[in-house]
Amino acid sequence: MSKKITRREFLKRSATTGAALMALNLLNGEPINKNVPNVSDVDKLTITFITDNYYDGLRVDLPVAKRFRTSYNASLHAEHGLSLFIETTVKGKSNSFLFDFGLDSKGISNNINALGIDVGNASGIGLSHGHFDHWKGLIDLLTSNKDKIRKGTPFYVGKGAFDQRYSRVAGTDKILDIGFLNRSKLESLNLVDVKEVSKMTEVIPGAYFSGDIARVTDYELPNPGLLLKNGDNYTVDAFSGEQAMIFNIKSKGLVILSSCAHSGIVNTVKHAQKKTGVDKVYAVIGGFHLINAKPEVIQKTVADIKGINPEIIVPAHCTGFEAITLFAKEMPGQFILNTAGTKYTFS
């Protein structure tokens, strides 16, 4: 049985993580403060949660977060799914991107209309990974907006995005087929151009797909209940091709947007720092996939993120109640409770 870390150990780990990250990069011969001129600075970034697991139409606005207000004729749909609309301003020019597409297409369509989002403005779209709560709404979204979506719009994915996936029911040998995104059906719409990436790639000006994320921590391990099939055998899905998104806000630092962080949110942040050469982390946002994680894994994750010391932390989607509440407790001045429809603006 794994040993739970004490409060003193938690605080000690938090205090030393930042120094450890710096040392690790120096040992690797890659100072994380080096100048990387091919990473575009973003003057302004907005991230709108089209949908998420939780909605609260009465929460107050915050300096960086504007909430959607429920009214007698407009409300939002929440679900176990994630979809985001991203806008960057680089050198005075605005750019838009759709990232993940949720589960319930009717709910996604309702939210897009309520939020006033014009999907036709998106010059690119992308999928983080091949789980249905991220791609299920895509085909209907494209079909219902076929007159708005520009033909040949690049559709960015990582390795394995179209793979058939399975899940083992906890505590049993029962394995469920959890579907796959049908590439042939997608391409038959004649709207998008599939682009598979494995390295950090700029998808619109100032917005980057992370590329494949290495696992470097000793506790962010693949979930043995999430599977792929190889012949007649099932293998653990390592999600080696899952993509996060990375932005560098001018004068403020990195914003790291994770959809599910199956490779681990700490690994994701370390990857972003290494690939961009930027040490300062301004915000960490998205799904951290700590739902049902062991307490010691949640504690280590929160401690390491606290040590990295972002100014803003927004755990969402698959992070799980226990981890969200621990982030709120340990990082109260940085924590924001996410709700579907919230629009974050960083500049």
What is the reported pLDDT for 170?
87
Predicted local distance difference test score (pLDDT) of residue 31:
39
In this prediction, residue 13 carries a pLDDT of 55
Burial class (CB in 10 A: 0-12, 13-18, 19+), 297: middle
Q: How far apart are CA 161 and CA 170, in angstroms?
A: 24
Q: Could you tell me the two tokens for 62?
A: 């915050």
| pLDDT < 70 positions in the chain | 1-38
| Residue 313 resides in a domain | yes
pLDDT for res 32: 38
CATH of the domain at 172: 3.60.15.10
Compute and round to an integer the Cα radius of gyration of the chain: 19
**Angle at 257 (CA atoms; ends 291, 307), nearest 5 degrees:** 75
Tell me, what's the pLDDT at 8?
A: 56
Asked if residue 212 belongs to a domain, the reply is yes
Considering the domain boundaries, does residue 2 fall inside one? no
The rounded distance, in Å, linking the Cα atoms of 130 and 181 is: 7
Structure tokens at 303: 């401690």
The confidence score (pLDDT) of residue 6 equals 58
In what helix (H) or strand (E) does residue 248 lie, and over which residues does it extend? strand 245-249
Q: Are 341 and 311 in contact (CB under 8 A)?
A: no
pLDDT at 316: 98
In a domain, 121, yes or no: yes
Q: Say what the pLDDT of residue 5 is.
A: 56
CA 163 to chain centre: 19
Parent domain of 26:
7-34+42-345
pLDDT (tens digit, 9 = 90+) per residue, 211-224? 999 999 999 999 99
H/E stretch holding 98 reads strand 93-101
Asked if residue 1 is part of any domain, the answer here is: no
Q: Lay out the sheet containing 166-168: strands in order across.
A: 175-177, 166-168, 226-230, 233-236
| 196-233 exposure pattern, b = at least 16 Cβ within 10 A, e = fewer | ebeebbebbbbbbbbbbbebebebbebbebbbbeeeee
Q: Is residue 30 included in any domain, yes or no?
A: yes
Give residue 10's pLDDT.
Answer: 52
- For the whole model, what pTM was predicted? 0.89
Total count of domains within the chain:
1
Residue at 227 is within a domain? yes
Establish if 93 belongs to a structural domain.
Answer: yes
